[in-house]
């Protein structure tokens, strides 16, 4: 049986290994998560793990109950850490905890996997994501509120060509699972790797 927490832990461990080889300039480079640099994305990935119910409530209150603002509050709390300190924190948080451990670890898996790719794709450092992780991440990505996928994929059929997964009804968008996941998350960078009669609609929704 698939364990999303284990899959998330494995992905975070691979991210930590990759980050250990980056230069200071790369840590400051932009990512596909356009408002954040590599450093800030790493901070976000771990920024909810130490929060219990009270801490989580305070985080969202500080962000005026807006998820994007709450995310930024968490990132700002790590702003003073140098790259090596951030990497140490990530290594301390390899297994999802707190909010990222909810839904069996699916929050940690989907959020971490997408942000890992935000970094990799922006730095031109591709990897082969294990199919097991992608197959577990795709269903949750379509319904997780922070990803806001519903408006992008409405009345479209999405079909992964390298894992056994599809969803929706309508004109088809197909392609490998990794760029499909990134497109679901609103990353235009992945669209060139997809095809099908529904692609123009998906492209316009992401651009809009």
Q: What is the pLDDT of residues 131-159, one digit of tens each?
A: 999 999 999 999 999 899 999 999 999 99
Whether 103 and 34 map to the same domain: the answer is yes
Instruction: Say yes or no: 18 and 51 in one domain.
Output: yes
Nearest to 24 by CA among 78, 81, 84: 84
Which pLDDT does position 67 carry in this prediction?
87
Q: Give the pLDDT score at 28.
A: 97
118 in the same domain as 136: no
- Domain ends where: 93, 123, 153? 123
Domain boundary, last residue among 123, 149, 180: 123
Q: What range does the domain containing 72 cover? A: 4-123
Per-residue pLDDT, 8: 98
Q: From residue 112, give the alpha-carbon distance in Å to each of 61, 172, 173.
A: 24, 27, 24
pLDDT class for 186, splitting at 50, 70, 90?
very high
Look at the chain and report how many structural domains it folds into. 2
pLDDT tens-digit series, residues 47-86 = 999 999 999 999 999 999 998 999 999 999 998 999 999 9
Residues 106, 22 share a domain: yes
| One domain, residues 107 and 138 | no
Please, are residues 131 and 101 in contact by the beta-carbon 8 Å criterion?
no
Q: Is 72 found in the same domain as 138? A: no
What CATH number should be reported for the domain holding residue 10?
1.20.120.450
- Regarding whether 185 and 87 lie in a shared domain, the answer is no
In degrees rounded to 5, what are phi and psi of residue 207? Answer: -65, -30
pTM of the model as a whole: 0.95
Q: How buried is 208 (Cβ within 10 angstroms: 0-12 exposed, 13-18 middle, 19+ buried)?
A: exposed
Tell whether 115 and 177 lie within a shared domain: no
Contacts of 186 (CB under 8 A, 6+ apart): 147, 148, 149, 152, 206
Name the pLDDT band for 208 (thresholds 50, 70, 90).
Answer: confident
Q: How does residue 1 score in pLDDT terms, banded at 50, 70 and 90?
A: low
pLDDT digits (tens, 9 = 90+) for 82-128: 999 999 999 999 999 999 999 999 999 999 999 999 999 999 999 99
């Amino acid at each position: 049986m698939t364990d999303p927490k284990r899959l998330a832990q494995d992905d975070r461990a691979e991210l930590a290994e990759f980050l250990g080889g980056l230069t200071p300039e790369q840590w400051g480079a932009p990512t596909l998560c356009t408002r954040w640099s590599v450093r800030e994305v790493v901070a976000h990935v771990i920024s909810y793990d130490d929060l219990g119910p009270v801490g989580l409530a305070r985080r969202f209150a500080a962000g005026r109950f807006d998820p994007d603002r709450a995310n930024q509050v968490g990132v700002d709390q790590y702003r003073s850490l140098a790259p090596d300190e951030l990497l140490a924190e990530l290594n301390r948080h390899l297994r999802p905890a707190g909010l990222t451990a909810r839904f069996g670890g699916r929050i940690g898996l989907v959020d971490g996997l997408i942000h890992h790719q935000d970094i990799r794709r922006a730095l031109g450092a591709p990897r082969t994501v294990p199919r097991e992780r992608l197959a577990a991440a795709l269903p949750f990505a379509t319904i997780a509120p922070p990803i806001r996928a519903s408006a992008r994929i409405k009345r479209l059929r999405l079909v992964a060509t390298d894992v056994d997964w599809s969803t929706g009804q309508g004109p088809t968008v197909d392609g490998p699972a990794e760029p499909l996941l990134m497109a679901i998350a609103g990353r235009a960078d992945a669209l060139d790797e997809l095809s099908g009669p529904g692609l123009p609609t998906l492209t316009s929704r992401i651009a809009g």
